[in-house]
Amino acid sequence: MNIRNIAYVVCLISLWSCADDLDFKNQPPINEVVPVTGERGPQGEPGVGERGPKGDPGTSPALGPWTITEVIDPCGDFSGGQDEVLFKFLNGEYLSYFRSGGNEFLVLLDWGKSYVTTDAQSCPFKISSAGEYQE
């Protein structure tokens, strides 16, 4: 597992959790080329006046329920091939991520169940009924 794969998963999760807030219906397709026509306008005048004082820092946004709070590597780092990892979210959910060849697997895990990783380590672990990771 490298940082590129983790960033890819975070992007997927972020899009999934934010999709309800986005307005995809009124956006042009990503691959659509919009031609620009017309003459270039004249150069604007330089700004007038001094720069204002620096404002106070803003507040950080509230963390959403699907914010990743922990990355767990069951049984530690595995140097013999692809390694499965778990993401724990602020809402207490766990997501398992594993990539093998050209396939990627994302699975939400239930509390109160035992699991074995699908990587070559076959590491047993459990998500307790209280939502705690246990090896």
| Annotated domain spans of the chain | 63-135
Global confidence as pTM: 0.56
Q: What is the CA radius of gyration of the chain?
A: 23
Q: What is the pLDDT of residue 34?
A: 57
- Determine the pLDDT at residue 31: 54
5-60 pLDDT, tens per residue? 454 455 455 444 444 444 444 555 555 555 667 788 888 887 778 888 898 988 88
List, for residues 65-100, the tens digit of each pLDDT value.
999 999 998 988 766 666 889 999 999 999 999 988
Query: Quick one: which H or E segment has residue 25?
Result: none
The residues, ordered by sequence, that sit 6+ positions from 134 with a Cβ below 8 Å of its Cβ are: 125, 126, 127, 128
Residue 132 has pLDDT above 60, yes or no: yes
pLDDT (0 to 100) of residue 11: 46
The total of other beta-carbon atoms located within 10 Å of residue 101's CB is 6
Averaged pLDDT, 116-122: 88
Phi, psi dihedrals of residue 50, rounded to the nearest 5°: -95, 160
